[in-house]
Amino acid sequence: MRSTFKVLFFLKRDKQKANGNVPLFCRITVDGKEVRFGMKKDVNPKFWDVNAGKATGRSSEAAEINTLVENTKAAIHKVYRELQERDNYVTAERVRNVFLGAETKQQTLLELMDTHNRERKPLIGISICKWCHGSYVRTRERMADFLRLWYNLSDIPVREIDHKFICDFEAYLTVTYKPAHNTLTQYLINLKHIICVAMEKDYITKNPFSNFKLQKQNPDRGFLTQEEIEKLTAMKFKNIKLEESRDIFIFCCFTGLSYSDAANLTKQHIQESFGGKMWIKGRRQKTDTEYNIPLLNIPQLILKKYADNPTSDKVLPVPWMASYNTRLKEIAKACGIEKNVSSHLARHTFATTIALTKGVPIETVSKMLGHTSIKTTQIYAKVINSKISNDMDMLAEKLGEMETKMAVNF
């Protein structure tokens, strides 16, 4: 970052001593802003050249003063160049403080992010979820790559971050990773939080996000209808891998388990509870929150189908996610389902088609899904037309007598 820079020496004439001498001062100006400090040297104003900024004459005293001036000027210029090369951030105050030995270490962005993530890690499972902490760790990794590739820096002072820096980071993420809108926004939300921490600690006084708008979009949570689920279950496969992937997907549709939770499901998670019924009990891999899900008939049949697996404690033959999603798309095509079927669609289907549209309260669905907030569950709370139709038929039946009495008035 280029800047204007000037060093000037002058006499502070309003501080004249009893012997007529005046204190010598130095003034540093960077980008029009100046600071000054005393040189701890008094000069006879008769022997001071205001325009040249040095002592006149050939006396030993004049030589001593001019040597002090030249050495100080050279040292200040050296400090200025080093700050430019090292931090690319220079103010008159910083130059003066470094020269006088009063410069405090600048708080840098990556160091602040490291401190933040380190301090929050012990809180996982207490006040923050595992996913949230991981999100900040990934943001730190992306930021380090961005600084290295776009700014050729290993770190940057927090006070140097401005609106352009944020826009550049957004552009880098977009070009390099092509993330979904909400994923991109989450990275920027995490950075904004770090900036707020910097302000709380007085590392900076102005928020560079003040004119930067952040807004997440409500994602369009797709799901399968009951008819589409029935198509999947009725399909016969010659390929055993396709059949296994179909069975795992249906299992998740009837339990709400995510891919990772299904992949890590063991016999220890299947327990008898509450009136002798079978339940799945565990903690989500993503958020480390507890979930309790009663096993319906379909998932119980699927567990029995794969019960004879002597090589592993896992209850389902869950493949790698890439292979799993590839097979799901092949299965959907074979069943004539045109939707983008992926592993997480099963979880959406459980929330919407299996639970909410069948009248299960959203609070119950939230608990079974292991959500930390009911607001997350509300994203799944789509109401399909068949549900609206059924609900209105029930309402019409209940209002039948009242409507009959009122109809005579029309």
Least reliable range by pLDDT among 67-76, 257-266, 333-342, 363-372: 363-372
pLDDT at 220: 57
Segment among 198-202, 344-348, 369-373 with least mean pLDDT: 369-373
H helical segments located in 178-258: 181-200, 226-234, 240-255
Per-residue CA distances from 160 to 85, 194, 213, 264, 345 (Å): 14, 14, 20, 45, 43
**61-78 burial by CB neighbour count: b if 16+ within 10 A, else e?**
ebeebbebbeebbeebee
Q: What are phi and psi of 222, to 5 degrees?
A: -75, 165
Express each pLDDT in 4-56 by its tens digit: 899 999 999 998 899 999 999 999 999 899 999 999 999 999 999 999 999 99
The pLDDT value recorded for residue 377 is: 67
8 A C-beta contact, residue 55 and residue 65 = yes
pLDDT score of 376: 65
Task: List pLDDT tens digits, range 120-156.
Answer: 999 886 777 777 889 999 999 999 999 999 999 899 9
Burial of residue 344, with CB atoms counted within 10 A of its CB: 0-12 exposed, 13-18 middle, 19 or more buried: middle
Q: What pLDDT was estimated at residue 301? A: 92
Q: Which fold has domain 226-390?
A: hpI Integrase; Chain A (1.10.443)
Query: Could you tell me the pLDDT band of residue 217, with boundaries at 50, 70 and 90?
Result: low
pLDDT of residue 103 exceeding 60: no
Mean pLDDT to the nearest integer, 232-238:
91
Domain 109-200 has CATH 1.10.150: yes
* Between 311 and 204, residue with greater pLDDT: 204
The residue extents of the domains of the chain are 5-100, 109-200, 226-390
DSSP string spanning 28-90?
EEETTEEEEEEEEEEE-GGGEETTTTEE-SSSHHHHHHHHHHHHHHHHHHHHHHHHHHHTS--
Q: pTM of the full predicted structure?
A: 0.51
